[in-house]
Amino acid sequence: MLHCRPLWPRLLLSVSPCRHMMDLSSVVSRLEALAPPALAESWDNVGLLVEPSPPHQVRKMLLTNDLTEDVLQEALAARADLLLSYHPPIFRPLKRLTCGSWKERLVVTALEKRLAIYSPHTACDAIANGVNDWLGRALGACVSVPLRPSTAISHPSGYGHILEFRGDVSESVLSRVSALQGACVRTYPLRGEEGARVRLSCSHNALRHALTILAEDPEVYRSAELLTLQKHPLLDTGMGRLCTLSEPISTAAAVERIKSHVGLKHLRLALGRGKSLESPVSVMAVCAGSGSSVLSGVPADLYLTGEMSHHEVLDAVAEGRSVVLCEHSNSERGYLLELAGQITQRLEGKVDVLVSQTDRDPLQVV
């Protein structure tokens, strides 16, 4: 089933008046602080994708869910210096830049017109108050937790490994290990035993060098014990959300609330086996975009996402879970208004932030 255009006004939105400007590198660093690229999925292509030759000043930024040629022309007409496309317009490697392919034309035109392109994509999927938290608020107040929590970007200590070995090493070995960049050495006595142990907290690169040095003394090397540290999970960050409502509502009421939240007159609904429109919804699992890999098997009354395949919907229905689909970009586009406000705050109002009026889901109700 196709979909109609969103109900919200499709006006060119200016979140803040332009009074200043910022260097592109400064804008990018603040965008990365808002949605760290390290939180993105490994398969994704996030960050600065097109960079005009420096210096490049940003006075105006246009936000879009998808970068099409119509959106590009809108950005140029608005005299934007930076275009933030939620979905990365460059995803697979480009072997050439010609005008024969529409995606290649986007890059060629952007460079010719000195328009930078940035994409946060799954980094914004993961962050607290990102697209999944926005989508999770469709049913109203709820307790929301990530379905697949992200881990911390770095180890709290800055080191990923602990290497312990005998303390009776030569001064030469100990001094060389201590001098390694990305390493911290401490010596401590052994309880109830003679001698001491050396504890080396280090990065992965420093670990390789330390082991090479210790291998020069086979007995010390054999005494070495290695502990690889894990990064701790982030409680409010990760893919998808499990939303527990304070009070259950009917499936029919849930559908109406979702329509209002995403700005659509029509949605696709698959009722779970044995369920009806009057069946209660107490727990909803959401994943903006294409959510089957994140939602699969999650215990919830209702799945809310942009798209799932026919067989993935059948699997969910067989498990008694109802599914609501609103098409891929419709599950994300409404978040752009919130993202624009977040960016404006990060940039201290020094850049005029606009939201595209041309961007829309390619599927429409006819």
What domains does the chain contain, in order, with CATH numbers?
A: 13-125+333-355 (3.40.1390.30), 126-151+234-331 (3.40.1390.30), 161-228 (3.30.70)
pLDDT, residue 185, reads 92
Band (pLDDT 50/70/90 cuts) for residue 13 is low
Q: For position 272, what pLDDT does the model report?
A: 98
The DSSP H or E segment spanning 169 is none
5 pLDDT band, cuts 50/70/90, is very low
Sign of CA dihedral 150, 156, 160, 164: negative
> What's 189's DSSP letter?
E
CB 127 within 8 A of CB 35: yes
pLDDT given for residue 79 in this prediction: 98
Question: Is the pLDDT score of 15 beyond 60?
Answer: no
Q: Sheet with 225-228: list strands edge to edge.
A: 183-189, 196-202, 161-166, 225-228
Q: DSSP secondary structure string, 263-288?
A: T-S--EEEPPTT--TTSEEEEEEEEE
pLDDT at 226: 94
- Report whether pLDDT(320) > 80: yes
Average pLDDT over residues 188-215: 87
User: What mean pLDDT comes out for the span 264-277?
Assistant: 97
At residue 155, the pLDDT reads: 72
pLDDT at 365 over 90: no
Which DSSP symbol is given to 309?
A: -
Contact 252, 143 (CB under 8 A): no
pLDDT surpasses 70 at 6:
no
Q: Is pLDDT at 303 greater than 60 in this prediction?
A: yes
pLDDT in tens, 47-67: 999 999 999 999 999 999 999
Strands 302-307 and 280-290 turn out to be parallel
Question: d(Cα 116, Cα 284) in Å, to the nearest integer?
Answer: 38
C-alpha Rg value of the chain to the nearest Å: 26
Per-residue pLDDT, averaged over 354-363, amounts to: 97
- Cβ burial, residue 357 (10 Å; 0-12/13-18/19+): middle
Residue ranges of alpha helices (H) inside the chain are 24-34, 69-77, 102-112, 122-126, 131-136, 171-178, 204-214, 218-223, 251-262, 292-295, 310-318, 335-346
Q: What is the pLDDT of residues 151-179, one digit of tens each?
A: 988 776 778 999 999 888 888 888 999 99
Q: For residue 247, report the phi and psi dihedrals to the nearest 5 degrees.
A: -140, 135
Mean per-residue pLDDT over the chain, rounded: 92
Element (DSSP H or E) covering residue 199: strand 196-202
Residue 192 confidence (pLDDT)? 62
> Residue 247: what pLDDT?
95
